[in-house]
Each structure stands twice: as C-alpha cells, then as structure tokens.
C-alpha cells in the first residue's frame, strides 16, 4: 500500500526537529563544561609568608612531615580558634602548618599569631571566587584547600597531607597514626551529623563501606577530617583536585586520586575509636517525650505531657538534678535531644 504524501513531510519535519534538539544539547553541554572548567580552575590565592624554621627544637629527620592544612576565614572567633588549634599542634613534631585564609589580602593579625607558636608554617591568602559566593549552597573552604594543594605540588615532594579545620578537636594520637600513611588512611570522626559519627566500616580489617549520616550519591561518604593522603601518592595524580561542589568535596577529591577500597588504610584501632571531633555540634534543644514506663528509664524520668514540654521547654525529673544525653536513648524521642542540666534549663533558652 502506498504511503500518503502528507506523511513523508511530517516525518521529515520530526526528524529535523530531533536533530536540532540533539545539536542544541551538545552545544549547551559543551559550553557548560567550558564554563565549569574556566571557573573551577580560577585561583585567586597567593602566598603571604613561609617559614620552614622549627623554633621548638623538636625535629626528627627519620619521621615524615605532616602538612596540616587549615582553611579559615575572618570572624569573631578566628583568633581564638587558631590559638587553640596552634597550641595543640605545638606538641606535634615534624609538622608544617598551612593556613589558607579566605581574604583578598594577607591578614597581618593571623600572620603575627602564627609566629608565636614556633611551628613551621605557610600563610596563604586564598579568597573564594566571587562566582561561588552567589551559589545557593556555598562551597566553603574549597578555595583555601585548593590553594594549599597548589603550594604543596610546587614545593613539597614527600610527607603526609591532612585537612584539619580550625574548629575541630584533635587527639595527639591521630598524628602518630597518620604519619606513615602509604596512600590514603581513614578513621572515624565524632560529633558529626545525625549519627554523631562518620566512619569506614571494616570486615576482617578491610574497608568494605562507610557509616555516615549523609551518604547521598558519594562513593566515599567521609568527612574532610576523616582521611590523610600520602603526598607521593597525591603527586602521582597531577590532575587530582577538589571541586567547588558543596557536600561532594571530599568524595570527588578522593575519586580524582583514583582511590579504591582496597587502597584504604584504616586507623583508629580498626576504626573503633575517634581521634578527631567536630567542635560545633549544633544547638541542644529540649526533647519532646512521650509517656514511658518508669522502670524502663535509667534516670527515672517522670512522664511528661507533650504540650507541657513544648510550652515550657523543661523536662521533669524525679530526684535527679542533672540529666545527660544518654537518658534519651531510653525513651521514645519525638524531636530534639535532652542535653541541658537542670540549672541550664531553669535559665531558659540561650543565644548562640
């Protein structure tokens, strides 16, 4: 049966339309990739000062140097946080502190502070590119870490890289464990997310997965403070970098290193102990409790009505003036966490 004459032009029109859509998609995609590459390689950082002198007289030539990278930014707590962290790092031998500040010019206050510790340091001014400050979710600290990576690639040939924020807390044992990292070592980070810990999961001493509050679509759902990288391994991957993509900085950096699960070296006593923790754990709000059996509650909480808790923000106890967060595990929790002491609850809510 012959094809009607009107069908052929219609099919040709649809075919041409589909071809145009495909062409437009590839043009749009290529332009997007070009823009991404242009902005992702935009670096504004420059070195303010470098000191390789260790005034503590505690250098050991047989130990690898740890290059401790700290992104920071101007705020009320900046000097206090850096002072606390610096006085921790003063106890660590063979350590070089790289401080990358999110400022367009060198911060003289930070530079003066660094000299007080006697630690070898590199001070970098590395402002975030303006295009990323307008993002709905700002990729904080990326420009700082990228600037530090750039300095390491140009000046360092061996050692261990570690990213440590200025508001984190570190056990001194951590540094002994990561110092001899061969490729990438990983370990638990405490006081983070809804699960309160982010950690690799081991089976027979090998990493088989990860425990994290926000796995998303990440191959390596870990915290920035939860891994260390051998600098020789880093240099063997010249294109490895950290993307300006909030939430995926750690994952994409590790992916760019070509890391495999079998390459990971678990630390922290087979990932059963935390050596690093987040300082900012969020506001501790009063819990909303439902009725519970008195005999099932360790601190013998008296059952309280939901409306009473919401109205007063206080918890009722029976002969116990102090109550810690562990109590919450014994009750069904509708929302929040019961962490305040009786004295703190009497004062009412405080401003952070």
Q: What is the pLDDT of residue 59?
A: 74
Q: Distance (Å, rounded) from C-alpha 50 to C-alpha 71?
A: 16
Alpha helices in the chain (DSSP H): 7-40, 78-89, 108-117, 130-133, 142-155, 173-178, 231-235, 249-256, 268-271, 306-312, 342-347
Is residue 207 classed as helix, strand or coil in its secondary structure? strand
Q: What string of DSSP letters covers 4-52?
A: PTTHHHHHHHHHHHHHHHHHHHHHHHHHHHHHHHHHHT----EEEEEE-
Q: Which residue has the tokens 């350590």?
A: 95
Supply the CATH number for residue 219's domain: 3.90.550.10
- CB-based contacts of 258, cutoff 8 Å, min separation 6: 237, 240
Q: Which two tokens stand for residue 129?
A: 């590119």
Q: How far is CA 7 from the centre of its chain?
A: 60
Report DSSP state, residue 2: P
Residue where a domain stops, chosen among 278, 301, 332: 278
CB proximity list for 231: less than 8 A, separation 6 or greater = 67, 152, 156, 157, 158, 159, 160, 161
Same-domain status, 255 and 110:
yes
Query: Largest Cα–Cα distance of the chain, in whole Å?
Result: 96
Query: Helix H segments across 118-230?
Result: 130-133, 142-155, 173-178
Same domain, 173 and 315: no
pLDDT computed for residue 196 by the predictor: 92
Q: Is residue 38 part of a domain?
A: no
Q: Which residue in the block uniquely carries the two structure tokens 């705020």?
A: 75
Same domain? For 216 and 326 the reply is: no
Let me know whether 302 and 264 are in one domain: no
In a domain, 22, yes or no: no
Please give the Cα distance from 342 to 344 (Å, whole number).
5
**Domain range for residue 318?**
288-347
Catalytic residues: 250
| Residue 40 counted as domain residue | no
pLDDT tens string, the chain, 352 residues long: the values are 555 555 566 677 777 778 787 777 665 555 444 444 444 445 668 999 999 999 998 778 889 999 999 999 999 999 999 999 999 999 999 999 999 999 999 999 999 999 999 999 999 999 999 888 888 888 999 999 999 999 999 999 999 999 999 999 999 999 999 999 999 999 999 999 889 999 999 999 999 999 999 999 999 999 999 999 999 999 999 999 999 999 999 999 999 999 999 999 999 999 999 999 987 645 544 544 444 444 444 443 333 333 333 333 333 333 333 333 333 333 333 333 333 333 443 444 344 3
Residue 19 lies in a domain: no
The whole-angstrom separation of Cα 332 and Cα 23 is: 57
Q: Do residues 96 and 183 both lie within one domain?
A: yes
Looking at the structure, tell me whether residues 172 and 122 fall in a common domain: yes
Tell me: do 97 and 157 sit in the same domain. yes
251 annotated to a ligand binding site: no
Domain count of the chain? 2
Say if residues 97 and 122 touch (Cβ distance below 8 Å).
Answer: yes
Q: Is 12 within a domain?
A: no
Same domain, 96 and 217: yes
Q: What is the pLDDT of residue 200?
A: 97
Do the Cβ atoms of 101 and 195 come closer than 8 Å? Answer: no
Q: Is residue 41 assigned to a domain?
A: no
């Amino acid at each position: 049966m012959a094809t009607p004459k009107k069908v052929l032009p219609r099919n040709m029109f649809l075919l041409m339309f589909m071809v145009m859509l495909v062409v437009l998609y590839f043009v749009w995609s290529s332009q997007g990739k070009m823009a991404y590459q242009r902005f992702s390689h935009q670096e504004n950082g420059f070195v303010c000062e470098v000191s390789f002198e260790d005034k503590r007289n505690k250098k050991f030539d047989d130990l690898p140097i740890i290059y401790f990278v700290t992104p920071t930014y101007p705020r009320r707590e900046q000097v206090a946080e850096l002072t606390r962290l610096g006085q921790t790092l003063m106890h660590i031998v063979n350590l070089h502190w790289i401080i990358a500040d999110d400022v367009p010019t060198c911060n003289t206050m930070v530079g003066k502070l660094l000299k007080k510790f006697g630690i070898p340091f590199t001070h970098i001014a590395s402002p975030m590119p303006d295009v990323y400050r307008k993002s709905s979710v700002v990729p904080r600290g990326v420009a700082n870490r990228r600037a530090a990576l750039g300095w390491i690639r140009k000046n360092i040939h061996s050692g261990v890289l570690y990213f440590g924020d200025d508001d984190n807390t570190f056990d001194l044992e951590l540094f002994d464990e990561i110092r001899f990292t061969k490729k990438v070592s990983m370990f638990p980070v405490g006081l983070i997310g809804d699960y309160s810990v982010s950690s690799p999961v081991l089976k027979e001493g090998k990493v088989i997965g990860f425990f994290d509050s926000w796995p998303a679509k990440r191959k390596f759902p870990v915290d920035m403070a939860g891994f260390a990288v051998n600098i020789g391994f880093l240099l063997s991957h010249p294109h490895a970098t950290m993307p300006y993509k909030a939430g995926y900085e750690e994952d994409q950096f590790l992916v760019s290193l070509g890391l495999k699960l079998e390459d990971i070296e678990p630390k922290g006593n087979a990932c059963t102990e935390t050596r690093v923790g987040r300082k900012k754990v969020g506001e501790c709000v009063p819990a909303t409790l439902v009725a519970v059996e008195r005999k099932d509650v360790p601190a013998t909480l008296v059952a309280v009505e939901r409306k009473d808790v919401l109205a007063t923000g206080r918890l009722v106890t029976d002969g116990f003036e102090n109550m810690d967060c562990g109590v919450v595990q014994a009750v069904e929790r509708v929302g929040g966490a019961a962490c305040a002491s009786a004295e703190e609850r009497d004062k009412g809510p405080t401003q952070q």
